[in-house]
Amino acid sequence: MQEVSQIKKTFKGVFASDLSVPYWMLIPGVIGIVFTNIIPSFRAVLLGFQEKGSWVWFKNYAKIVSDGAFWQSLTNTFFWSAGTLVCSTIIGLFAAILLNRSLPGRSFFRTIFIVPWVTPPVVAAMVWKYLYDQSLSPFNFLLKTAGIIQDNISFLGNPQWQVGPVTVPMLSVLVINIWATFPFMMVMILAALQNISDALYEAAQIDGAGKIKQFFHITLPSITPVLGISLLLQGIWQFNSFNLNYLVANGGPLGTTKTLAVSIYQEAFMNFDTGAAGAISGLMLLCVMIPAIFYIRKSVKSL
């Protein structure tokens, strides 16, 4: 009984301090991050220095860097990330500005615009694969009806027209990703817009400022902090993006839509080359760490 009472006193002493309570509440989250993120990432990096259980150090990295398919995947990944960021931000900004006004049915349109974001990737992939089907695509029907094309376009299977990483399949998959990600940017920007005081716009109107000047001198500076953080997060997510790209195009045809995330999956689970997959993971981690460190430093400075 004395031991039990002593343990109770110890716990009471630990949680009695207001300073210690937040740290104790962080422990479950830290444990989850360690076991689901840090340890698997560290293990994946170690696999890049091994081959069939033996240490080969930088052999896998040398093999990957000398492979043209890796550079194609890297280029595709940067194009995929940049294209998604630019387009989803522009569309999200326009949608947020429109939905921030007093329009009829504003709540309905806010709900509709969020649907792509919450749609499961498997469901979205099935729907878009039908929309892009060479024989059944409604896009081909509309283009042929308008007289723009004569033969059906193979949206996911025609790599002949190519300028760098830009191909018809890549653009087709990129459209799906933009459709799925712009609602996030819209929600973040809309939340920032609603925190801007109407008095600022009223004062600007009195001073004779038009809509364009109000946007560049009031709206844009006010949403810049939220926009910056959103771009950093979205950039990291898109660089690691896997679901839609793999489910819709599986990296094909001829690797024209293959990103680094898809390459890792194919090397590990289709080619059973865990060393190559680990090497790509290590190089991918280095690329992601640059914006991640910038984001962490910015977050710490804002505390």
Domains of the chain, start order: 1-47 (no CATH), 57-301 (1.10.3720.10)
Asked if 244 and 238 count as a contact pair (C-beta separation under 8 A), the reply is no
Asked if 200 and 246 count as a contact pair (C-beta separation under 8 A), the reply is no
C-alpha–C-alpha distance, residues 112 and 105, integer Å = 11
C-alpha–C-alpha distance, residues 106 and 112, integer Å = 10
pLDDT number for residue 85: 93
Maximal CA-CA distance, the chain: 90
What Cα–Cα distance (Å) separates residue 158 from each residue in 2, 18, 133, 177, 268? Answer: 78, 63, 12, 19, 27
Per-residue confidence in pLDDT tens, the chain, 303 aa: 555 566 555 555 555 556 677 788 888 888 998 988 888 888 888 888 888 777 888 888 888 888 888 898 999 999 999 999 999 999 999 999 888 887 787 788 888 888 888 889 899 999 999 888 888 888 888 888 888 888 888 888 877 776 667 788 899 999 999 999 999 999 999 989 888 888 888 888 888 878 888 888 888 888 888 888 888 888 888 988 888 888 988 887 888 889 999 999 988 888 888 888 888 988 888 888 887 787 777 766 665
pLDDT number for residue 77: 92
pLDDT number for residue 188: 92
Specify the pTM. Answer: 0.82
Asked if 263 and 246 count as a contact pair (C-beta separation under 8 A), the reply is no
Which residue blocks in the chain are alpha helix, DSSP H? 2-16, 21-33, 39-47, 59-65, 68-99, 106-118, 121-131, 138-145, 168-193, 198-206, 211-214, 220-239, 243-248, 260-269, 274-301
pLDDT number for residue 37: 84
pLDDT number for residue 201: 83
3-state secondary structure of 292: helix
Q: 223-236 burial, b for 16+ CB within 10 Å, e for fewer?
A: beebbeebbbebbb
CA count, 13 A, side-chain hemisphere, 295: 16
Name the β-bridge partners of 60. none
* Nearest residue to 127 (alpha-carbon basis) of 95, 166, 175, 88: 175
